Structure 1
Amino acid sequence: MSESTIGRRFEGQVALVTGSSRGIGLGIAKRLQVEGATVVLTARKPEPLAETVAEFPDGTVIGIAGKADDSAHRAEVFDTIAEKFGRLDVLVTNVGINPVYGDTIDIELDAARKILEVNVLGTLAWIQGAVHHEGLKFRENKGRILSISSVAGQNPSKGIGLYGVSKAAVAHLVKTLAVELGPDIRVNGIAPAVVKTRFATALYEGREAEVTAAYPAGRLGTPEDIGAAAAYLTSSDSDWITAQILTADGGLITAGGTA
């Protein structure tokens, strides 16, 4: 879809997308910006984040570097948004890690704690910060929250079991918070299968044709696919949709596959 055929559903709105210097986060940020939002990007490393910010039209995005699970970083992000824009309309929690690959029964517990800390508690912390920061007026603006889960949280996936556990928790967190925060704030999620990003490279590199064969859609996902879905779920077009996890998998799960 070309930019000329995309609407401006986010004109005058401010969106925050965590983990957005590349991959799915960047795909979402680009779609929201094209549709009119001013977008705040976060990422751990300052240099790649600055390079990403430079890809956007001047004045349409800002970048704030820091670790997603660092409370001081989160406070800086929210305070900066409040000072510069005085509002937040859309929060996308995209940060997720998977530092290990192998059987869950053998995972080091310190690694398991880190996965849960970043993927689950980090997601909750970002949402808490947005909702409770008075300067963001998130509730008054009928804020929309989108959290990235995974099909690995729906069906067990070999080698990434604890990651799947964390993403199942994210999906349940979405539903729980949607019930608690409605009717003022909507909360939804997206559960992608394999999307062609650096993060997912190990799942398809060197065997993409073999992996793709399990997908009825005939291809793997792209960051643009997830960006389009995210724009729908955070726009007024989905005002009657909350507490939902959209499975974006090219038909993989229905066909009996796993990520």
Structure 2
Amino acid sequence: MTRFDNKIALITGGTSGMGLATARRLLAEGAHVVITGRDKARLDAAVEDLGGDRVLAVRADVADLDDLSAMTSAIQERFGRLDVVFANAGVASFQPVGEVTEAEFDRVVDINFKGVYFTIQKTVPLLSDNAAIVINASWTLHRGLVTGTLYSATKAAVHNLAHTLAAELGPRGIRVNSVSPGYIETAMFHEAVAEETKPAVVAEVVSGRLGTSEDVADAVAFLASSEASYVNGQDLIIDGGLVAAIPGVML
């Protein structure tokens, strides 16, 4: 498949998990891919993993506007444009509302909302007409989760960007959608969910398994491709039925 031949794609938080899997998928379909991350060693490891000369790694913290400006300058110099943006970089944070500190609030909002917002703002001038933006949201914007007040609010905020930016960028033919992954087996998931509770988590999913980063990459590739040319301002939930259905074992 060559849906992305000669397309230029940016993936923030592209050194692991869903970002890395999406980079691998788009490369396999012909794209040139820019990945970002805060850690130089992890960036180098990701480039080695992905291989080839169609990968540009840029060290950037999405919460730092100077880093984002340097990132866009590097993309402009190397490629001159962007055709796909996957605003993926984010962090998890789960605690009761009474335990959320101002410092934690600022950290999570800076990365999950401010980082997405300004990633898009900085890259819009580079976007070709008929480009595609995909934002990584979360199933938690559709269903309440205990301890998820802060995290879920940031994900609801970035999904709302898909609605408003679809309207604003529509005249240029630029589509903006979000994906809402459910329980995806990534390093972040394993850090947030204790090992002994994982069987109970899986029991909530109608499909009977955790999702994979590749499941999300498939969805992002679809939304970024011409096959989704009439999909705009939407949220695609990738959760094995977690939000929409109750497994029989739960009744």
Question: TM (normalized to structure 1)?
Answer: 0.91
Taking the aligned partners of 1:204 and 1:33, their CA distance within structure 2 comes to: 34
- 2:5 aligned with 1:19, yes or no? no
What TM-score results when the alignment is normalised by the length of structure 2?
Answer: 0.93
Structure 2 residue aligned with 1:217: 207
Superposed CA RMSD in Å reads 1.4
Aligned equivalent of 1:175: 163
* Aligned counterpart in structure 2 of residue 247 of structure 1, from 200, 218, 237: 237
Which of the residues 147, 155, 158 maps onto 2:143? Answer: 155
Runs ≥4 residues deviating over 4 A: none
CA distance in 2, matches of 1:246, 1:55: 28
Between the aligned partners of 1:168 and 1:141, the Cα distance in structure 2 is 27
Q: Secondary structure at the match of 1:174?
A: helix
How far apart in 2 are the matches of 1:117 and 1:57? 31
Q: Aligned residue pairs: how many? A: 245
Deviations 1:57-111 (A, max 9, x none): 320211111211111211111111111111110001001123x432123311221
Give me the whole-angstrom Cα distance separating, in 1, the residues matched to 2:17 and 2:148: 19
Instruction: Kindly indicate which of the two structures has a greater share of residues assigned to helix.
Output: 2
Matched, 1:112 2:105: yes
How far apart are residue 204 of structure 1 and its match?
5.5
Alpha-carbon deviation of 1:218? Answer: 1.1
What is the rounded CA distance, in whole Å, between the counterparts of 1:83 and 1:176 in structure 2? 29
Q: Could you say which residue in structure 1 is the equivalent of 2:91?
A: 97
Unaligned runs of 5+ in 1: 1-6
Which amino acid in the other structure matches residue 103 of structure 1? Answer: P
Instruction: Check the 8 A contact 1:23/1:223 in 2, yes or no.
Output: yes
1:124-147 CA-to-partner distances (Å, cap 9, x unmatched) read 101111113xxx3x1x43211000
Structure 2 unaligned residues grouped into runs of 5+: none
Name the residue aligned to 2:23.
29
Displacement of 1:256 in angstroms is 4.6
Superposed CA deviations along residues 168-226 of structure 1, whole A, max 9, x for unmatched, are 11111111111111032100000011100011112263333221111111111100000
Deviation at 1:50, TM superposition (A): 0.3
**Residue of structure 2 equivalent to 1:66:** 60
The one-letter code sitting in structure 1 at the alignment partner of 2:198 is: E
Within 2, Cα distance between the matches of 1:256 and 1:114?
34
* Aligned residue number for residue 174 of structure 2: 185
Counterpart residue type for residue 2 of structure 2: R
How far off is 1:16 after superposition? 0.3
> Displacement, 1:113?
2.1
SS in 1 for 2:230: coil
